[in-house]
Structure 1
């Protein structure tokens, strides 16, 4: 799967990591819904760090269709709230 982190670029991520990322995504959705700013910051950082750690960056000049788009690390809670569906950022 190709994942884009807004403002950073794209990474290729093996589908086997989706379950691990879904746990963070579920936590993030809960924190956004409860407007827990501290938890939101912590979990968004952990989610993006996991994608960077588990994924392989694509070259800067590559432009592939992204199957998943994640917010930038400095995204606000309200910006992420607008991006979320009822299922979170990562389709299960």
Structure 2
């Protein structure tokens, strides 16, 4: 799975990490739905860190992204506009 973090680049995560990724994304969705600013910050940082734990795709190599995450400085209100009932990562 290839995930882009806007303004940072792309990372490749192994297919076996998708369930973990969805769990982290689910925590973010819960915090955003609850309007929990602190929970949002914690969950969004955890999601970005999880993605960054994958293999960085060199900037000169372009792949279609399976998911695109907003920049790390996104606000709770911006995130509300982006998150559907499935979180940021579909699946």
Measured against the shorter chain, the TM-score band is over 0.9
Unaligned runs of 5+ in 2: none
- Asked if residue 60 in structure 1 is aligned to residue 56 in structure 2, the reply is no
Normalising by structure 1, we get a TM-score of 0.92
What is the match of residue 84 of structure 2? Answer: 85
What is the match of residue 39 of structure 2? Answer: 39
Between the two proteins, the alignment pairs up a number of residues equal to: 91
Normalising by structure 2, we get a TM-score of 0.93
What is the match of residue 21 of structure 2? Answer: 21
Q: Give the RMSD, CA atoms, in angstroms.
A: 1.0
* Structure 1 residue 6 displacement after superposition: 1.0
Cα distance in 2, alignment partners of residues 69 and 41 from structure 1: 18
Cα distance in 2, alignment partners of residues 13 and 39 from structure 1: 24
* Structure 1 residue 65 displacement after superposition: 1.0
Q: Hey, which bits of structure 1, 4+ residues long, moved more than 3 A?
A: none
3-state SS of the aligned residue for 2:11?
strand
Further displaced range: 61-70 or 2-11: 61-70
Unaligned runs of 5+ in 1: none
What is the match of residue 8 of structure 1? Answer: 8
3-state SS of the aligned residue for 1:7?
coil
